[in-house]
Structure 1
Amino acid sequence: MERPLLILIVMCCYLYSCKLVLSGQAIESPRYKVVHSESDFELRQYRESSWMSALVRETNSFEKATKDGFHRLYQYIHGANLNTSDITMTAPVLTSIVPSVHGPAEYYVRLYLPAKYERTPPQPSSDLNLHFDKWRSHCIAVRKFTGFAKDDHFHKEFETLVNSLNKHLNGKPAILEYKSSYAIAQYNASYHLSGRLNEVWMDLSGFTSDC
């Protein structure tokens, strides 16, 4: 009887944690200021930030990669680290997509680390295969979109952002960094059926004096 009860408790904690992360009820998010805004995108300058990252390979599914990566990150923030520390949930869940001409894309699923851990986060358990990423202050072009971020249409949102940027970059010396790479940020729980918020992120420099 003890094992089924333990499994039930773990699953309840997992679902509750997912709710906190994806519903935007998290305590901390990466800090930024908006330096330029248009009707179809905005440019944000993010401060330095620290992330824990899960690399997922050998799948063509953005949804599967996000699920697999988040599962490993969930274990990390709930004690699967050398300090057995519980780490506060943050938002958004960020999945970076790096296409490859020789096979499936690589996916980096990330969680922002709270400020108290930005310099020396607990070391993850080796079996989780997680990596600590330190991001410098930089600018990101952002497009918001609603609904669910699904395999059959999330890339179209990226293409729409690129088209918008190309239109507004006409005559400007701005640089789209890593033109084929981008990220999807998700803010809502799966049960949240209406009013959902997602974002496409793409690195950008040279658009304004701040970036």
Structure 2
Amino acid sequence: MMMGTAAAQFVAPAFYKGLQGPKFTVLKKIGDNIELRRYEPGSWVSIKREGMQLDSAMSGSFMKLFGYISGGNAAGAKIEMTAPVLTKVVPGQGPTCESQFTMSFYNPWKYQSGAAPKPTDASVFINNVPAMDVYVLSFGGWANEAAYKTQAAALMQKLKAEKLPFDSSHWFTAGYDSPYTMANRHNEVWVPAAAAPAAAAAKAKPAASGH
């Protein structure tokens, strides 16, 4: 799928499954299922919550954001679903401390110029996210809190083994499928690269192919 001119002729990956989503470039591949990606700056709609459990935070946040795209905005506009559903996780300082979860939907390309309608729910906000380099681990199946945490830990362990510096203060979950998708599900965890882009890319193995 070729995105619009705002996406600078970005060819969306198959796991977007026909939906609009953020433009990224694969800088390098590390092993079979890890990539270093560079994401363009983008406009998202977000909600921030604190809690002990990722699953419960994601469930409540999703319904709030779904309300926004279903007409809960100043324009009363019905906004198309995009991919991925992205959740930033800032772990608590200890096992009894709450973590911070920020779930986001990517705003469609027609709103990337800054024209996204204002949310009517005060807890929902338009979030202009700067460009970022992230290490991405992809996995299939049904993803829940345990799966996301396991995969995030595995990604960080791999990065440590490869001596690739990363920011361990937060990480992301990225989901691409509706609950009604039974097969070929695609999930990701993202960990921000800590080094300058050129330095991080130099330490990763060259990609056999890229976007």
- CA deviation digits over 1:29-61, x for unaligned, max 9? 10111010022410011111111111122x322
Provide the C-alpha distance between the structure 2 equivalents of 1:74 and 1:85, rounded to a whole number of angstroms: 12
**Structure 1 range deviating more: 34-43 or 148-157:** 148-157
Question: Gaps spanning 5+ residues in structure 1: where?
Answer: 1-22
- Residue identity in the other structure for 1:30: P
Q: What is the 5 A alignment of 1:90-105? A: 90-101=82-93, 103-105=97-99
Deviation at residue 175 of structure 1 after TM alignment: 3.8
Q: Which residue of 2 aligns with 1:74?
A: 66
CA deviations on 1:76-119 (whole Å, 9 max, x unpaired) are 11111111112121011111111112621111111001122121
- Aligned ranges 1:190-201 → 2 under 5 Å: 190-201=179-190
Q: Matches of 1:188 and 1:122 in 2, distance apart? A: 25
Moved over 6 A (4+): none
**Counterpart in 1 of 2:24?**
32
Give the distance between the partners of 1:184 and 1:114, measured in 2 at CA: 20
Q: Residue 24 of structure 1: CA displacement?
A: 4.3
Tell me the C-alpha RMSD between the 2 structures.
2.0
Which residue in 2 is equivalent to 1:125? 120
TM-score by length of 2: 0.78
- Distance apart, 1:121 and its partner CA: 1.2
One-letter amino acid matched to 2:117: P
1:47 corresponds, among 32, 40, 45, to 40
Q: Is the 8 A contact 2:151 2:189 kept in 1?
A: yes
Structure showing the higher helix proportion among its residues: 1
The answer to whether residue 107 in structure 2 is matched with residue 113 in structure 1 is: yes
Larger Rg: 1
Number of residue-to-residue matches in the alignment? 181
Aligned to 1:163: 157
2:141 aligned with 1:147: yes
Deviation at 1:126, TM superposition (A): 3.4
| SS of aligned partner of 1:121 | coil
In structure 1, the residue corresponding to 2:173 is in which secondary structure?
A: strand
| Partner deviation per Cα, 1:132-187 (whole Å, 9 max, x = no partner) | 21122221110011222212332111111011111222xxxx5413x131011011
Residue pair 1:66, 1:109 contacting (<8 A) in 2 also: yes
Contact map agreement 1:40 1:164 (CA 8 A) in 2: no
Q: Is the 8 A contact 1:26 1:91 kept in 2?
A: no
1:3 equivalent in structure 2: none
- AA of the residue aligned to 1:48: P
Work out the CA distance in 2 between the residues paired with 1:180 and 1:104.
Answer: 14
Unpaired runs of 5+ residues, structure 2, are: 1-14, 205-211
Structure 1 partner of 2:52: 60
Equivalent pair of 1:56/1:68 in contact (CA under 8 Å)? no
